[in-house]
Chains A and B, each alone.
Chain A
Amino acid sequence: MTGRRLLRVAVLVVTGVYLLLPLVAMLDFSTQAGGGRRSLEAWRDIGSSRDLLGAISVSLQLAVLTVLGTLVLLVPTVVWVHLRVPRMRRTVEFLCLLPLTIPAIVLVVGLAPIYAWVSYLLGNSPLTLTFAFVVLALPFAYRAIDAGLGAIDIVTLAEAARSLGSSWTGVLLRIVVPNIRGAIMSAAVITVALVLGEFTISSLLNYNTLQVVINLLGKRNAELSVAVSLAALVFAFVLLFVLAGVGSRRDRSRPSAIEKGIAG
């Protein structure tokens, strides 16, 4: 084994241990039953805790709504900026990245009076958090979509489609979206992960989302709280792999090195 290869394996092992050790510890803690015995009681309790199931349901609904909101808002906007007003790219990028620079606590101070109105107009449903979460997801989703659009010659493709008789909607849905499917998947995955892990805003605005309930549970049943946290993490990983798999299988536009060689 060469030194270089040894270094590679060492880095992989250290990183793997660093990332997996907390998960193993969580699994260990959540299955302890006292007296050195093991029990899956905490894991079974996940299914019987009404608060928890409600919070999981709310967070999943929020994730779906936030993904839809972010994509519907962002994809046409970024495509339009790329195609029609490229000089606005910097401004839009700045606006989209802004939430990243503002601490969550400051966001809440700004959002609280707005949410008083939101509650008044739309009711006190936790799903109204979608508005805040779309803002939080903007920087990450923007980056992913912008990179996706940068990888294709969107201007020429759009012009070709237009000259063939396509409307702007047709350009967006038939040409642009299928060719940035990978980027859209990335944006969706990041957004789902962000929503499932969000605590500060939900908690300070008094909505019971998954992380808020996990925190409350942790105060009276630590094992259950850790089991749910681990389950949420595993769920996010599985989702990531599934979406990445779907994205790469359906993305036929990307040539493999061998195919590039043949065509060249």
Chain B
Amino acid sequence: MSAEAASDTTRGGVQVRLEDMCRSFGPVRALDGLSLEIAPGELVALLGPSGCGKTTALRALAGLDQLDSGRIVVGGADITTVSANRRDMGMVFQAYSLFPNMTARDNVGYGLLMRRVATAERRRAADELLELVGLGTQADRYPHQLSGGQQQRVALARALAIKPKVLLLDEPLSALDAKVRVQLRDEIRRIQLEFGTTTLFVTHDQEEALALADRVGVMRAGRLEQLTSPTELYARPRTAFVAEFVGLTNRIAGTAESESVQVLGTRVPLLPGSAQTGPVTALVRPESVRIAADPNGDAHVLATGFLGALCRVQVQLAGGDVVLAQVSAADATDLAPGRPVRVEVAPTPVFATPA
């Protein structure tokens, strides 16, 4: 689709404010005072384990679930009690949700039909959007004639067709195979940037969240643990839960004093919120663990895992603890299992919990 066509369908992003949202299902508090602000045109990903409340938050914003208390403000208007069909939210679901009795074109045009847009205009808009998602030639196909990835593309086009105030993506990639997932993920981001639509994306896949979002919110037990940029979230987790949930971490014993911790012979700065004194468990990223083949080293390689450009190496320390190191594949050539190695930790700030 051309830039003019894109701007034609762009309404421009609006600000979304979720204020102190609470929702219980029986004894379970799915949302426990969740507050979140999304800037116009921003893509925020909510990340968390199953049952953390991320999908409930998205469904509440879509109007598909009611809140017990709290407010939802979109573009300055309180829409907390507005019904789902009047909210102007485009949503892509985890499950395939195309209407089986309609062609791809009719699916995309459905929201416009509900808005009483004339047939010719509806058809033109639907064809344009299908072109945008790379399915221009599949417009007359029925959902069962499309693959999973194609169905989700059509679902994305359908959600965008109504020029939504907010785009809601509820784990839209989780049913797809790995290659299609990455492809479609990149495409979602491209189209979202092109349209400038404020977007809330819910996922349990951290790689997806980190790769796609402007900001990532990690949720736990109905609350936001931390909401920040992907790099900040990875490098400077504010809680032990975030440090352990996002990325891989080694739990290495150390001793903390005066805002730093002694780990494997190196003094490493501590992140704010960490335990500050006494014996602690430092949460160290695999890429911060440095290893080098050394005949006099007191650790040895247990196993290596080849990941293409990178290599993950499991190392057993002298005390018996096992740590995971991540090195470039080129550096891993002389790290065969059983080889003695020297282990150090890079002085990158780490999070530490009381031991």
Say whether, besides A252-B101, A263-B147, A264-B147, A163 and B90 are in contact (CB < 8 Å). Answer: yes
**Who on chain B is nearest to A254 by CB?**
B144
Bound state CA distance, A152 and B100, in angstroms? 9
**Who on chain B is nearest to A177 by CB?**
B101
Stretch at the interface among B38-46, B109-117, B300-308: B109-117
Residues of the B chain whose Cβ atoms lie less than 8 Å from the Cβ of A174? 110
**Who on chain B is nearest to A155 by CB?**
B95
Select one of A162, A255, A263 contacting B64, CB under 8 A.
A162
A contact residues, total (Cβ < 8 Å): 27
Select one of A165, A178, A254 contacting B115, CB under 8 A.
A165
Q: Which residues of A in the span 64-117 have a Cβ within 8 Å of any Cβ on B?
A: none
**Who on chain B is nearest to A255 by CB?**
B144
Select one of B63, B97, B101, B146 contacting A160, CB under 8 A.
B97
Bound state CA distance, A153 and B98, in angstroms? 10
CB of B245 within 8 Å of the partner chain: no
CB of A121 within 8 Å of the partner chain: no
Chain B positions 103 through 129: 1 when the CB is less than 8 Å from some CB of chain A, otherwise 0: 000000011001100000000000000
* Interface range, B side: 35 or more
Residues of the A chain whose Cβ atoms lie less than 8 Å from the Cβ of B142? 252-253
Interface pair A163/B62, CB less than 8 Å apart? yes
Say whether, besides A253-B142, A263-B144, A164 and B158 are in contact (CB < 8 Å). Answer: yes
Interface pair A253/B100, CB less than 8 Å apart? yes
Residues of the A chain whose Cβ atoms lie less than 8 Å from the Cβ of B158? 160, 164
CB of B179 within 8 Å of the partner chain: no
**Minimum Cβ distance to chain A for residue B167 (Å):** 11
CB of B162 within 8 Å of the partner chain: yes
CB of A124 within 8 Å of the partner chain: no
Bound state CA distance, A175 and B85, in angstroms? 15
Select one of B95, B99, B114 contacting A165, CB under 8 A.
B114
Say whether, besides A262-B145, A264-B147, A164 and B114 are in contact (CB < 8 Å). Answer: yes
Bound state CA distance, A91 and B195, in angstroms? 48
Q: Which residues of A in the span 249-264 have a Cβ within 8 Å of any Cβ on B?
A: 252-255, 259-260, 262-264
Residues of the B chain whose Cβ atoms lie less than 8 Å from the Cβ of A160? 91, 93, 97-99, 155, 158
- Among B84, B86, B91, the most chain A Cβ lie within 10 Å of the Cβ of B84
**Minimum Cβ distance to chain B for residue A72 (Å):** 21
Say whether, besides A175-B99, A179-B101, A252-B101, A163 and B85 are in contact (CB < 8 Å). Answer: yes
Residues of the A chain whose Cβ atoms lie less than 8 Å from the Cβ of B88? 165
Bound state CA distance, A89 and B98, in angstroms? 25
CB of B89 within 8 Å of the partner chain: yes
Interface pair B99/A162, CB less than 8 Å apart? no
Chain A positions 9 through 39: 1 when the CB is less than 8 Å from some CB of chain B, otherwise 0: 0000000000000000000000000000000
Q: Which residues of B in the span 149-195 have a Cβ within 8 Å of any Cβ on A?
A: 155, 158-159, 162, 168
If A160-B99, A252-B101, A253-B143 are given as contacts, then 14 extra A-B residue pairs at C-beta distance below 8 Å, sorted by A number, are A159-B62, A160-B155, A161-B110, A162-B63, A162-B64, A163-B91, A164-B90, A164-B110, A164-B158, A165-B86, A166-B110, A174-B110, A179-B99, A264-B147
